[in-house]
Amino acid sequence: MQQIVNALGLDFPQIVANFLGFALFLLLMRKYAWKPFLDFMDKRRNEISGSFRRIDDERAELEKLKSEYKSLIDSIDEEATRRINEAIRRGEDAARLIEEQAREKARMIVDKS
């Protein structure tokens, strides 16, 4: 066994030292690099999801306002149509009254002659 180890050039103290160094490196990376990186990623993920929530809320508010404005425009249109029809009716009534008065005057003139 010793011959195989010597033939391969394996140095167990060096292997153990490398392993311990690598383990220490992993621990340091986990504490000073990996955890801050994950914290940063979580913070960024939360910001993005918050932005999407705000966008969805604003989109819903926009749809609500759009619906309200459409209802308002429809009611204004109905009111305008009602007022126009009322003005037309009053104009027709006034025209009938003027026509009746003119016929009455014409009858009176014919009766006097």
Give per-residue pLDDT as tens, 10-62: 788 888 999 999 999 999 998 888 888 999 999 999 999 999 999 999 999 99
Q: What one-letter code names the amino acid at 85? A: N
Q: What one-letter code names the amino acid at 49? A: S
Cα–Cα distance for residue pair 109/102, rounded to 1 Å: 10
Task: State how far Cα 105 lies from the chain centre.
Answer: 70
- Domain ranges in the chain are 2-112
Cα–Cα distance for residue pair 70/72, rounded to 1 Å: 5
pTM value is 0.51
pLDDT at 9 over 80: no
Backbone dihedral angles phi then psi of residue 9, each to the nearest 5 degrees: 75, 30
